[in-house]
Structures are given as structure tokens and as C-alpha cells.
Amino acid sequence: MTHRRIIFATVSSILAASLIVDARAAQENSPVFVNGGTVDSDAAVHIPAITIPFSSYASPQAKSSFLAYQKFITTYTGMLNRPMSEQRRMEAERLTPALQRAQALYAVDTKPTVIGGVRTDVVTPKEGVSDRNKSRVLISLHGGGFESGTPVLRALESIPAASVGRIKVVAVDYRQGPESKFPAATQDVTAVYRELLKTYKPRNIGIYGCSAGGMLTAEAIAWFEKEKLPLPGAIGIFCASAGGWHGGDSGALSGALTGAPPPYHPAEPPHPSVSNKAYFSDVDIDDPLVSPINSNAVLSKFPPTLIVTSSRDGAFSPAIYTHKQLVKLGVDADLHVWDGLIHAFFATQPELPESREVWDVVTKFFDKHLDQ
């Protein structure tokens, strides 16, 4: 089946040219009928079922991968109902074939190493670190919603960067929920960073992460500011934002656009990440140490920042908003968007042409902004 019929509230910008709104009715709190649907008094758009073709800008490989992904999405909700240990086992099992593909594509050596009292994997390219990167290092922070990250995911997000960039990557095995709570992960990243500062100049260090790791990257910068540590030379916030996960149009659209079954809206106001209520249960989610986006003072001090996202990612809108806020505050920030791709596609689908493009963008960004 090449098309999937999905019901969703679509992006206002897409509909702007075709929607005719009766302003008087809106002011009177009456429904407004638009092309067979309605716009209510709160400006929410309600439309009948429509068909969304797969993006014409995505590769054929991405389309095939998206169809294969449907086998997983139908079982995802059931997986979330299992104990966390079982979720982690299932996630590692699901992603092991992807790791095997990544290992075939990218030749690296991995050495488990304790740095600053924290477990890490130090990943280096088999052909050796380039002369240009001898005095540089990247810190990689894996995804997993601050609870389901596994060594497999840690490897998937560090191996390509080390190989493509010919640079050392330190992948941090930070603490997660439900065993630990905020700021455990931030403290672990800080411990590793402090130790690396003994060997590397701060502007020779880059930090990046995907999904929860992307948000953790932003949280780490806020924490470094609080601790008055020198900031790294550049950072990458991938498939995430500097605070918030489900806001904006993508929060309403992404479930439907990835083929997930309804309902698409969370029953409660969302926490700042995916499935992480245990980790963030004791915090104010508006605290800039949790959501740096809430403080211009914190955000304005961010180092050069690369934001990577995709149009069918639930974090798409928050990522765009983060980029906009950074630019407004004078931060050197780049935004790269892959159309039609899902959340964290480049980590879980390493063989896609788009995934290779991402790692090329990532390594060039750090090469440009890190000192030698």
C-alpha cells in the first residue's frame, strides 16, 4: 500500500492559501466551515480524512524504510507498557541490525573508558584521527527519552561521527530514569567535560546529542554556565530542542505523519521529553536548567549551535523555535531540515542517503567551529 489515509490537524501555513475564514463567526465563537472542515473559536482546524503522499524530496530508500517502520510503530504502545528493563532489552534487540549496518559502513575502534567517574565509550576511526583533529574531541549524548537509552543506541550515534569526521568521540553512558532523577544526567556530562578540560582546550571540544541527548546537550550548557565552566567550542542539538518536545504544529502532526494510531494528542500537558516523567518528576519544567529555552540570559551565551531535524519529527516545531530564538539573541546557529524523514532517522537508519548527509553536515560544522 503506497498511501495511508490519516486524520490530522494540518499545518496552518499549508492551508493558508486555500482556507476562507468567516471572521464574524469566529468572533462570535461559532464554528467556521472551511473546505468541508471547521475552524473553531480557538483557531484549531478540524478537517476530514485526507491522504498525505510520501515526500517527493526524500530518497526511495527513505520511502522503503518508512514502510518497514510501520511494523514497529504498531507495537510501540505495547512496548511502553512493559517494565523499563524489558523496554531497554527490546529496544536494543530492535536496533542491533542497524548497528551491524553502521559497523559495516564505518570502521572504528571502541574502548570502554571511565572518565571523571562516568562510564563512556571512546570511539576512534580505524584509519586514525586526522592531524587536523589531534587536539579536538566530541562528546556524544545518546537518545532514549532519558530512560530507554542503550549501549546499542550510544554506538549508533557516535560511530558515524568518529569515522566520517576522523575525530575522537566520547559517548557518555549517563544516568537515566526511573533509577535516577534530574540532574543526574547533566551531572554525569559535566563530570566528563571537567575531566576532558584537563587535556583539551574548551574551544576544542564539541558536544552533540540526538533526541533526549539533544535536549541534554542544551541542559549541559545551562549547567556549565551555572558552574562558571568555560563553554565548548560548538554544540549540536539533533531531533530535539532547548526545551519542550511536543509543542507547535509538529506536536499535532507527527503522530499521524508517521503512521501511528490515534489519539495523537497527549492526555496531559507534555513533559519536556518523551516518556520521561520519572526522570523529571521532582523539577519545575520551566526551570532554565531543565528547559534553557525559557531564559534569554542562558540562551544568549550558547556557543555556535547546529540544529538538525526532520519534517515528520514531533520535535520539528520546537527545533525550529529554538533556532529562531538563538538567532534573535545573536547566537551563531545553523538549522538543517530533512523533509519526509522521521524522528532520529539518521541514528536508527544509518544506510539512508539522508543519514550520510546528516553526518557530513555534522562533521563539517564542528570542523568549522572548533579551534585546533
The residue length of the chain stands at 372
pLDDT at 275: 46
pLDDT at 176: 95
Residue 105 phi/psi, 5-degree rounding, is: -85, -35
Cell matching residue 249: 504544529
Rounded to an integer, the average pLDDT of 218-233 is: 98
Q: Where are the domains of the chain?
A: 5-51, 60-369
pLDDT at 6: 34
Q: At CA 148, angle to CA 233 and CA 224, rounded to 5?
A: 25
- Which region among 25-39, 299-313, 325-339, 357-371 has the lowest average model confidence (pLDDT)? 25-39
Q: Please tell me the distance from the alpha carbon of residue 83 to that of residue 135, in angstroms, as a whole number.
A: 43
Q: Quote the DSSP letter at residue 131.
A: G
Rounded to an integer, the average pLDDT of 338-363 is: 97
Q: Helical H runs in 128-266?
A: 151-156, 159-165, 184-196, 212-226, 248-257
Q: Which of 138, 214, 144, 141 is nearest to 177 (CA)?
A: 144
Confidence band of 37 (pLDDT split at 50, 70, 90): confident
Q: What is the pLDDT of residues 1-30, one digit of tens each?
A: 333 333 333 334 333 334 334 444 444 444
For domain 60-369, the question of CATH label 3.40.50.1820 is answered with yes
pLDDT at 129: 98
Q: Please tell me the distance from the alpha carbon of residue 126 to that of residue 124, in angstroms, as a whole number.
A: 6
pLDDT at 45: 85
Site of grid cell 507547535: 248
Confidence band of 304 (pLDDT split at 50, 70, 90): very high
Residue 334 phi/psi, 5-degree rounding, is: -110, 140
Higher pLDDT, 253 or 204: 204
CB 26 within 8 A of CB 32: yes
Q: What is the pLDDT of residues 158-189, one digit of tens each?
A: 999 999 999 999 999 999 999 999 999 999 99
Cell matching residue 48: 476530514
Q: Please tell me the distance from the alpha carbon of residue 305 to that of residue 291, in angstroms, as a whole number.
A: 16
CB 304 within 8 A of CB 234: yes
pTM beyond 0.75: yes
pLDDT at 35: 58
Burial class (CB in 10 A: 0-12, 13-18, 19+), 142: buried
pLDDT at 7: 32
Cell matching residue 229: 565552566
- Helix (H), strand (E) at residue 299: helix 296-299
Higher pLDDT, 47 or 235: 235
CB 128 within 8 A of CB 64: no
Rounded to an integer, the average pLDDT of 120-126 is: 98
Rounded alpha-carbon distances, angstroms, from residue 83 to 15, 208, 283: 42, 29, 23
Q: What is the mean pLDDT of the chain?
A: 88
